[in-house]
Structure 1
């Protein structure tokens, strides 16, 4: 029998699970071990329990809530275990009061005021596209100043929009402008279409994820049945990276265990880091090469907290949570009048009004029933960058209405990330029997995490199974950028 490669994957989030799943299809080639310090798989893709009688659903996804039609690999994993992503019409809004508020649900005064700049932004997006990477690498704040956009338009429309979908908070002005262009125009990364009249299209189609806690549990059980050794609640230390193998030591992650768990030392043929870059750098410590220190050290992380609650009074004090005639601009067409009529029947999705967005709440009501009163809604308020904790208003949330608190370790899409980290990935991937995966390698999306894990497995010798031309093209682009490898198609493209 030929020797099977012993592969150790550090991290059991979307990237680690995707990598393990791809390798597990070749049991004759790979012996896979996956290690994570947390008690469950899924990484940031988790769910929490709710009081169903009070809120209309028994669970809520936190950390990761949904995506667009480009999430082909993500949806394929969901469907392979019987979990179907649900289509929704995305409602977003920003700001408070008539002078600062705008939404994609109905026409607002702010959109009307900046109509010329909205059209101008479309022309600038085309400039960024055609002058890539010259303009694309510059931060958004530089591009907005270069093309002389007003302070009002930049800070009330462009930056809040980018911050919402990337979760970058006060770091948004430093985000590379390539992301602004790609999120509107790139076929593989586009989350929404650019609208020359309203900036965001009216109620674009998006998808909410199924119960992530249950999905990842089922996925892990299946991988275990296929021979993947999944070790949760386990800490790892890199002892040595030699030409003949990777020596690591693992210990149980239970400080209350008496006696403490005994460490286990093992040797593996290949190592895949599917954890945050700073964690990988810390684990490598003195064994990291100068290239790894340079690339991994270029990823800037911030600590954020998500508070899940049902304090509608607090939510409405920060956002415009419901339609009001004073927020609406004068209708100029039948389409705008129809939008206003729709808005009068709805509570506006304010980014994190989960009852409006996640499908399980609507399903519990049934067809034709009015929406739940705002007092019964479940909200998620995310406070970004704990270095600015003094600006947070989290103490204004009624403590008795808080359901859960969860801290996150998120990377910032700073322009330096696309000058130093993304171009540098191909120079550290595959070196010294080590590969890297995770959304931090490119863009903070669940889909990128899945693709990155599959790409790492592909580089180890696993097959990529084409199932969709769009998905295959996306995978090929990622493989080229982050691994420096041209993907070889195994069959002609479908027509």
Structure 2
């Protein structure tokens, strides 16, 4: 390319990665002409929002793909603040399992945590061992590590697997996840969600963050990039990479209808365009990238991208309280609580009963936001859910939560059913009252198996040039 000429760069995918990539390149308009091609009708990828009936649910919107996260997402927060969208803090409450023998929480002492107190302490020592023996121990699947160190089988099934599956999005592949991701969850300063607690595994009421209206944020983000010269083309599908060499990249694109059930045959060949760019940046899922690259994929690209496995999950957003209470522990119950061993645990119980305020004047009471349910026939597999009314800040801020809280029967929940290919016979999805379903969405999720850390992670680092 002649020196001084702008590079014509195409980015495939307008999710968080594609948009932030474009934002970086747009800072250098003299060097780059940037085009984003996105299949869907909006930017943001899985960071989507839906509308709600405010009179019934207490707010007129909710984020339905990404709820929030930890305080480590500093780059994300910088983008939020740049466009005037502020994340809000919330104290994390979980409710894993059901009944005195299967339930545990980070809100008050439970018999299950007492029962596995030795395993919890040993777990901390093993985390340190994993850290100091990377990458060898880091590549071992969690299920094998638990057996190697003689952890109680139920400790893994009732505490470790649900915790990792829910917070790291590893779903029903959690048992096959590399120990590296386990160690980073608790110890890596750039990735951890909370500190390991030697008494309860998960600390009492750690600070989490809920995101602002993601649809509005990405709309502001899109408009700003377009004002800087970025060409963002929505509802456009890249069907094939025809050529990639020193002369440039040739793509075939066509219009795409995200609401159509069947992609094949919905457009004629006359809709397809052939376009040429200087550089290609792919910000899509690994399996989609392989399909798009087709015959132009290199051996290394096939090896690396082919090491990522994806699973189809469905999220049901609903208001079926009867279903939720059948499968989860949604309210404080004395039978779920162990005898306190300290003044601190006495205060935790009082807070959960609603008898005193929490840290930083947190609204009182046991109000879990994260839930998991393990299948009796296969405890390594789970269903997971959110009480979005307890989690997302706008349900509390868009009305007077103190004097007129949203009635529990009007809470908005999400129930997530994992890995359709192998586990839909165990799902309880048909028990949800269809009249109380607000939205149903399918997601294509990365499984984070140990193979991911053998093939994908090393392959993403550039090799030294010869």
- Would you call these one fold, judging by a TM-score over 0.5? yes
Residues 412-436 of structure 1 show CA distances to partners (whole Å, capped at 9, x for unaligned) of 1111100111101135xxxxxxxxx
Name the counterpart of 2:343.
Answer: 334
Which of these residues, 51, 56, 61, is aligned with residue 54 of structure 1? Answer: 56
Does residue 1:353 correspond to 2:387, yes or no? yes
Which of these residues, 128, 139, 142, is aligned with residue 141 of structure 2? Answer: 139
Name the counterpart of 1:10.
Answer: 12
Name the counterpart of 2:233.
Answer: 231
Does residue 1:84 correspond to 2:86, yes or no? yes
| Structure 2: gaps spanning 5 or more residues | 355-364, 371-385
CA pair 258-181 structure 1, distance change in 2 beyond 3 A: closer
Residues 142-164 of structure 1 show CA distances to partners (whole Å, capped at 9, x for unaligned) of 11000000011111111110111
Q: Secondary structure at the match of 1:426?
A: coil
CA pair 326-484 structure 1, distance change in 2 beyond 3 A: farther
Name the counterpart of 1:395.
Answer: 430
- For the aligned residue pairs, the C-alpha RMSD in angstroms reads 1.7
Does residue 1:292 correspond to 2:301, yes or no? yes
Which of these residues, 141, 166, 169, is aligned with residue 167 of structure 1? Answer: 169
Q: Secondary structure at the match of 2:107?
A: coil
CA–CA distance in structure 2, aligned partners of residues 342 and 44 of structure 1: 35
Residues 200-223 of structure 1 show CA distances to partners (whole Å, capped at 9, x for unaligned) of 000000100000011011100111
Name the counterpart of 2:288.
Answer: 279
CA pair 314-184 structure 1, distance change in 2 beyond 3 A: same
Name the counterpart of 1:406.
Answer: 441
CA–CA distance in structure 2, aligned partners of residues 259 and 382 of structure 1: 36
Q: Secondary structure at the match of 2:325?
A: helix
Which of these residues, 251, 254, 279, is aligned with residue 254 of structure 2? Answer: 251
Q: Secondary structure at the match of 1:64?
A: coil
CA–CA distance in structure 1, aligned partners of residues 219 and 270 of structure 2: 25
Residues 370-418 of structure 1 show CA distances to partners (whole Å, capped at 9, x for unaligned) of 6433211100000110111111110000000000000000011111100
CA pair 243-258 structure 1, distance change in 2 beyond 3 A: closer
Name the counterpart of 1:435.
Answer: none
State the 1:53 CA deviation: 0.5
| Structure 1: gaps spanning 5 or more residues | 428-482, 486-495
Name the counterpart of 1:491.
Answer: none
Name the counterpart of 1:424.
Answer: 459
Structure with more of its chain in helix, by fraction: 1
CA pair 234-159 structure 1, distance change in 2 beyond 3 A: same
CA–CA distance in structure 2, aligned partners of residues 31 and 319 of structure 1: 52
Say whether the 8 Å CA contact 1:38–1:234 is kept in structure 2. yes
